[in-house]
Amino acid sequence: MGSDTNCSILDIITQARMIGLANYLKRENEALGSTGRSSELEIILRFNSIEPTDDKEKEIWVELKRLFKPDTDDELWKLQKHIHDLTWKLYDSFKVHHVSTEKGIDIYMLVEKEYPLSRGTLTQMLVAKLLVEQDNEMSRELLRKIFMQAERPRK
């Protein structure tokens, strides 16, 4: 198998994970009887009250906590020093951007939230360039936000 095939498989897996996450959020919105989007807090509270029963549910639970309630003590954020040769993609229909590495590190982030990314990771994201289906306001705003976050003085 060539690297193009592996890349296609990775893209399919990534899209499947995002579709699964989007379907979960949609079900939660419907279960909460919301006329619009449920608040992040409502989804987290509901998800925290349900004990995950299988590995897939546990995986989605971890992803949701990372998306909505990033914890700087989470192992994922500590692994940033090992992030090299990354790919950065925007899934604008989900309002999610995704950083992945050849070593299998995946970070999914909501466009409107700020995450505890290191300056090194932010710089690598900008160097790698954001992959988008089409140029739009969301992609330009995300690039501005990441650039501003990378340039911000550290405490």
Q: What is the pLDDT of residues 112-153, one digit of tens each?
A: 889 999 999 999 999 999 999 889 999 999 999 999 999 988
Domain housing 126: 70-155
Whether residues 65 and 78 share a domain: the answer is no
Which pTM value belongs to this model?
0.64
Which comes out higher in pLDDT, residue 97 or 15? 97
Whether residues 89 and 59 share a domain: the answer is no
**What total of structural domains would you count in the chain?**
2
List alpha helices for 3-154, DSSP H.
3-31, 40-48, 55-68, 75-78, 119-128, 137-151
Whether residues 47 and 94 share a domain: the answer is no
Whether residues 59 and 75 share a domain: the answer is no
Whether residues 17 and 76 share a domain: the answer is no
Whether residues 30 and 56 share a domain: the answer is yes
